[in-house]
Amino acid sequence: MRTFLSALGISLLTHTCQAELLINEVDADTSGTDSAEFIELYDGGSGFSSLNGYTLVLFNGSSDTSYLTLDLSGFSTDAKGYFVVCGSSANVTRCGVEIGDNILQNGADAVALYAAPAADFPNGTAVTANQLLDALVYGTSDGDDAGLLDVLLLADSVQVDEAQHGDKDTQSSQRCDTTVRSGDAFQIAVATPGAANRCSDDSETLVSGRCGDSAGVTRISAVQGAIDDANNDASPLNNTRVVVEAVVTLDARSGYGGFWIQEEDADADSDASSSEGVFVKSSDYDLSAGDTVRLVASVTESAGVTQLDEVSELMVCSQGATLPLAIKLVLPVADLSSLEALEGMRIQNQQGLVVSDLYGAGYGLGNYGQVVVSSELHFQPTDVALPGSAEAATLAQRYARDRLLVDDGVKAYYPTFIPFPDVTTGYSADNPVRIGDTFTTLSGVIHHFNNDFMLIPGKYAIAASHARTTAPAVSDAANLRIATMNVLNYFNGDGQGGGFPTSRGASTYSAFQMQSNKIVAALDAMDADVVGLMEIENDGYGENSAIHQLVDAVNALQASGDEYAFVDPGTTLTGTDAIAVGLLYRPERIRLSGTTRVLSSANSPRDGQGVLFDDSKNRPSIIQSFEFNDFVFTVSVNHLKSKGSSCGEINEGAEGQGNCNRVRTRAATGLLQYLQTRPTGVASTAVLVMGDLNAYSQEDPLQALLAGGYSNLQHSDIATEEAPYTYSYSGLLGSLDHALATATLASHVVSAGAWHINSVEDSLMDYETEANGQSYSSVDNYANADPYRSSDHDPLVIGLRLDASVQQNQPPVLVSALADIRIARAGATVSLDLATQFSDPEGDVLDFVASGLPVGWALSASGVLTGSATATVLAELPVTIVVTARDGEGSVAAPLRVLNGVAGSVDEPDEADAGDSVTAGDGTSGNGASGGAINGLLLLAGLLLLWRRRI
């Protein structure tokens, strides 16, 4: 009679057994030298029961006398109430004491438990019931031994046959009833030393059938079904009961409330689109990898996972089976259906997989103990390709096929121990796992949860291939450093230890102290002479202000002569936002030059739609010139509108540039035009635009600055890394923080790059912890007073070489403002020489470029503007053309407006301005225009008009 393991059987022994000690299981015959034989005692589940005064005696049926006596004094049951006497602990799990190989006789023989001293039972003692507590008389297809049965067991009890199922080598006699001294209380099932017995309430009505029987068995591939669409992955057998026989590949009952099984290789089908593995949702059975099990359960779907639930029967057919071969996984996959077809199966990586994200499925390392691996690091499409391009679209699609969550094997929130980067010491403030680290070894079982495929790992090894550095990479040739850093809502309360929580940033003074310590550590290690700050509290510049307190904290670590001061723009606040930009410098190393300026809506350049730099969205920029070794240059610190909230723009985000792209682009254009006016009052063309522009490297705001003559230093030949980035979002790297320089300054830059202390670190490392007022429940004690995760953006550090002998190029100058052009007649042509309006102090040859040209218009390199007033052009007007003159190092730009003066247009001019087909300025021939140079096609236009009217 085949028996099986059921939840009912466990309940029977765990909850209804008497508290007294009983013989619970005996395995008298195993394969080979019988080293796996054992006797299991059970105290009813009380646990840690003393065995003092108990004696175990073995009787040989051939003589009905004892042949082994074991004194149990000094031992106790384990936490679950079991005590196992075994032949060899190497072959029997949870063994309490060894008695040697091949000790138990195969039968007919007996095991008896007495409440008497061991000295009462020397070898050869006749069988006795004196002080007997429990006994089992057993055999292996042997005849009954009346002498043992009559003395040891109660009346009408039977001798138990361990071989009754023909599988005596793997099965044992197991108690399934609390009646003492009764063979009827035992059933035969696969051995379970030190664990719950495999009993059923009705062993004669098994639904699952016998192990190995193919009749009625459903293959797992049929349960999973063939997959050709990862979004249509429900089982074709959903909500049906099935019988399945397969091998346990991974036991995750403690972490996931179940275990994974997979068909043996010989039973797998040849269809790569159907999985051979499945998750079994049950914690009722004590199983190990390598157990072959036969079970009855329902097929269900849960959060994208096909699983077996409501298990009513489970038997262990064998133990120690060879696990199915792991599938060799290579990322990226061709499509997600390839991963869906592996759900529940063992896999092994065929490549070094890099950690590409620490936020995972939105829960992250700290919440769920998850990281994401990919074949390579991935970048925001618009950081490496133009928005809307085919290349950008391809990049966006590739990452979805090249990501796999790696889980810690624990489903619960906020794990107390994160086993990455290594399972021994785990994650800690000094032992992080970082984006860019590599899984050199990785195997486990593929799982599916909602929209994410994950790996529940069996084995892994992580190499710190992107280890922390203690300082940024800066060229040894540099004698001046400039840095930019987003300080992530640095709010200091009232500046005296109170005023917390504030509207942003730290919620307690203790948290603020940790935040300040981390930022100060970063600033100190960067050792920059000029530092631009973003996201510092906009609370002025007084003694208790955030910027004042930050400078004081940094200066406490500086050597004499290296102390910092902050640039005070002379205003109470810088704009109206809660945060502002700031500018630090070392007065003993570099001196201020010119006048400090703040770019805001109030002084922004304008176009036909209004102000270009809108400070209701963008934080006002601070602009300051400096002098170092007789070299004068200007720094602009900026923080443009974020992508997070909408600005209500038409087709907002359609090209992958996020919200408010037009606001940022107009701000960049306004900044460019404002800087071209030399606002600080110095003549130098050496300008550095830096800060958090909230735009990736190929997006429109950056393109506007590049078109204005600036170069992106992170993407130049002096960059410290080939693929730069400062930020990580949803597994994609990219640069939101930039440093752009004019040609005059760029020629002196010797290195430029980010210091990766923030973007590749998990937020667990930030200043907030359970101890200092973190606003949500978690397990977080990782913060250290070090630079790592001092913000969410990486700082940029620029190295310059400025010697005293440096001679600065003098840029071109604008002789006089460019007068407006008014179109007075449709079809009029324009040919204007604008070169006469510009000059160069050193006589350098100038070349000209323009932006904002009407359709069909052109500006030659020598400065001649040509075009025609077509219907399309007239529909565009008014427009502002930005004309830029360049001498190879410096440049100057000026706006040139083109207005619609055609009768009946919305921009119709006064009568005095409408006489000529094209006018410049106030009816003059400014900009080099003359009557001979302007050829209105009036006759043709008139004839066409008459012809249309006649028709």
Residue tagged 């785990």 (tokens): 426
Q: What is the 3-state secondary structure (H, E, C) of 587-626?
A: CCCCEEEEEEEEECHHHCCEECCEECCCCCCCEEEEEEEE
Tell which residue, 254, 256, 246, has the closest CA to residue 281: 256
Look at residue 203 and tell me whether its pLDDT is greater than 70: no
Average pLDDT (664-680) is 97
pLDDT at residue 363, as a whole number: 66
Average pLDDT (486-508) is 96
Q: 690-717, pLDDT tens digit by residue?
A: 999 999 999 999 999 999 999 999 999 9
pLDDT at residue 935, as a whole number: 35
Look at residue 911 and tell me whether its pLDDT is greater than 70: no
Look at residue 916 and tell me whether its pLDDT is greater than 60: no
**CATH topology match: 7-190 vs 220-325:** no
Tell which residue, 522, 519, 552, 559, has the closest CA to residue 536: 519
Using CA atoms, how far apart are residues 664 and 615, in angstroms rounded to an integer? 11
Using CA atoms, how far apart are residues 449 and 302, in angstroms rounded to an integer? 8
Q: How confident is the model at residue 795 (pLDDT cuts 50, 70, 90)?
A: very high
Look at residue 244 and tell me whether its pLDDT is greater than 80: yes
Using CA atoms, how far apart are residues 312 and 242, in angstroms rounded to an integer? 11
Using CA atoms, how far apart are residues 461 and 471, in angstroms rounded to an integer? 27
3-state class (DSSP) for residue 37: coil
Average pLDDT (759-777) is 90
Average pLDDT (206-213) is 75
Average pLDDT (809-827) is 89
Contact call for residues 753 and 473 (beta carbons, < 8 A) = yes
CB within 8 Å of 710: residues ≥ 6 apart: 672, 687, 689, 740, 741, 742
Q: 97-117, pLDDT tens digit by residue?
A: 998 888 899 889 999 999 999
pLDDT at residue 9, as a whole number: 33
Average pLDDT (719-733) is 96
Q: Show the beta-strand stretches assigned E in 403-451.
A: 404-407, 438-449
User: Strand 821-823 to strand 891-900: parallel, antiparallel, or no bridges (unpaired)?
Assistant: parallel
Please report how the helices 546-555 and 509-526 are oriented relative to each other, as an axis angle in degrees rounded to 10.
Answer: 60
Tokens matching residue 794: 């990486």
Q: Yes or no: is domain 220-325 CATH 2.40.50.200?
A: yes
pLDDT at residue 284, as a whole number: 87
Look at residue 195 and tell me whether its pLDDT is greater than 90: no
Q: 862-910, pLDDT tens digit by residue?
A: 999 999 999 999 999 999 999 999 987 788 999 999 998 875 544 433 3
CA dihedral (429, 433, 437, 442) positive or negative? positive
pLDDT at residue 204, as a whole number: 37
CB within 8 Å of 378: residues ≥ 6 apart: 356, 395, 398, 399, 402, 731, 732, 733
**CATH number corresponding to 7-190:** 2.60.40.1260
> Superfamily assignment of 480-800 in CATH?
Endonuclease/exonuclease/phosphatase (3.60.10.10)
String of b and e for 762-794 (b: at least 16 CB within 10 Å)?
bbbbbbbbeebbbeeebbbebbbebbbbbbbbb
Highest-confidence range of 135-139, 202-206, 911-915, by mean pLDDT? Answer: 135-139
Q: Yes or no: is domain 813-948 CATH 1.20.1250.20?
A: no
Return the domain boundaries, the chain: 7-190, 220-325, 331-463, 480-800, 813-948
In terms of C-beta distances under 8 Å and separation of at least 24 residues, what long-range contacts does 52-56 make, across chains too?
A: 53/115, 53/116, 53/117, 54/21, 54/113, 54/114, 54/115, 54/133, 55/113, 55/114, 55/115, 55/116, 55/117, 55/118, 55/120, 55/121, 56/85, 56/111, 56/112, 56/113, 56/114
Q: 326-350, pLDDT tens digit by residue?
A: 999 999 999 999 999 999 999 999 8
